[in-house]
Structure 1
Amino acid sequence: MELKIDRRVKKTKLSLKRAYLELIEQYSEQEITVSMIAQYADLNRATFYAHYSNKEEFLEEALCELLEGLREAVLSPFEDNNRINVNTLAPTTVQIFEYIEYNKRIFYALYNSHSDFEKRLEELFYYIFSKDILIEMKSTMGKINYDMFLHYQSKATLGLIFYWIQGNFQYPAKFMMDQLTIFSNTQVINLKKI
């Protein structure tokens, strides 16, 4: 019996999330109400409130699920290897962009509706590369402060991801992967006044 209830709960929550994704493509976040979400999901408001106390809790659950899925995707190449060469297209880069492209509707929706979306994505990247994955590096210029490097690298990668989301995914994931790889392996030679 419990399995049936779990399936029904999952199905209901999925219907609510799908409804929200359709609504965010038509309305601003401020215009979307719990009633609209429930109505679009062909449910009543009481069903929504049986699972969430408010719209913010609903969005928070969606964000947590999305971020956990991204974390799992980034770590998946390490299931069989404990070291990955990043001079070519890194499997972690592939996983990041493929996961985002596959879930682009929810990424776009949360980017536009969850007030802490950018901050939480940044925290996730920092956590992954400080607790789960160690970036091995060398520099001919001097000693690298790892913490500062993580912030620099995370901001650069996220800047590219946010650019992609803001442009409503105008480029395919493969192009974005290639660009990140090129950027990461590009050496700036000079600055020239225009």
Structure 2
Amino acid sequence: MEEVLEDLIRSYREPYLQKDILGISDLSSSSIKIFEHVFLYAKFYKITIHSNVLPGFQNKICQVLKNLVLQDLTTKSGLLKKINPEIFSSYIAYAIFGLIVEWVNGNFSYTPAYMSEQLIGILSYTTFIT
């Protein structure tokens, strides 16, 4: 489990490792690695989502994602002046995990690249909602 979580962290951080500020326009499907990570560990994620073999591990994954957002993204940006960082990080973590759950439930019917494109589209769309 620790190996999976360590790889999850590496995969999540990949798009912004070499950047001070990451904009949506900087993202490409090839730069987003989290879905490649999930696909690599597909059996593990299926077990985690579809059974009670690893109780509480879904929450652990969400907590890891939330901590990544808190540590890496909210501290690098002065943009979160009006948004509570705890609420923001929870939103991002559960949104990403929700995409993972839907993908697993669909038996990985899409490629990791497609899922990455969808994430970019979702992020782009939400920035234009007024």
> TM-score when scaled to structure 1?
0.55
Q: In the aligned structure 2, how far is the partner of 1:137 from the partner of 1:84?
A: 13
Q: Determine the structure 1 residue equivalent to 2:68.
A: 128
Give the share of equivalent positions with the same residue, in percent: 23
Tell me: CA distance 1:169–1:85, structure 2 relative to 1, closer, same or farther (3 Å): same
Q: In the aligned structure 2, how far is the partner of 1:93 from the partner of 1:161?
A: 17
Secondary structure at 2:22's aligned position in 1?
coil
Q: Is the 1:126–1:151 Cα contact (8 Å) retained in structure 2?
A: yes
> TM-score when scaled to structure 2?
0.78
Q: In the aligned structure 1, how far is the partner of 2:100 from the partner of 2:84?
A: 24
Q: Over residues 135-183 of structure 1, what are the superposed CA-to-partner deviations in whole Å (9 max), with x where a residue is unaligned?
A: 43748xx822222111112111111111111112111111111111111
Q: Determine the structure 1 residue equivalent to 2:9.
A: 71
Q: Is the 2:49–2:58 Cα contact (8 Å) retained in structure 1?
A: yes
Shift of 1:67: 0.9
Q: Is the 1:89–1:181 Cα contact (8 Å) retained in structure 2?
A: yes
Q: Determine the structure 1 residue equivalent to 2:47.
A: 109
Q: Is the 1:84–1:90 Cα contact (8 Å) retained in structure 2?
A: no
Moved over 6 A (4+): none
User: Amino acid of the residue matched to residue 128 of structure 1?
Assistant: L
Q: Structure 1, unaligned stretches of length 5 or more?
A: 1-62, 190-194
Q: Determine the structure 2 residue equivalent to 1:166.
A: 105
Answer yes or no: is 1:156 the counterpart of 2:82. no
Higher relative contact order (CA 8 A, sep 6+): 2
**C-alpha RMSD of matched pairs (Å):** 2.6
From 124, 127, 130, the equivalent of 1:185 is 124
Tell me: CA distance 1:91–1:176, structure 2 relative to 1, closer, same or farther (3 Å): closer
Q: Over residues 20-59 of structure 1, what are the superposed CA-to-partner deviations in whole Å (9 max), with x where a residue is unaligned?
A: xxxxxxxxxxxxxxxxxxxxxxxxxxxxxxxxxxxxxxxx
Q: Is the 2:15–2:27 Cα contact (8 Å) retained in structure 1?
A: no
Q: In the aligned structure 1, how far is the partner of 2:43 from the partner of 2:34?
A: 15
Equivalenced residue count is 124
Question: Which is higher, the Rg of structure 1 or of structure 2?
Answer: 1
Q: Determine the structure 2 residue equivalent to 1:99.
A: 37
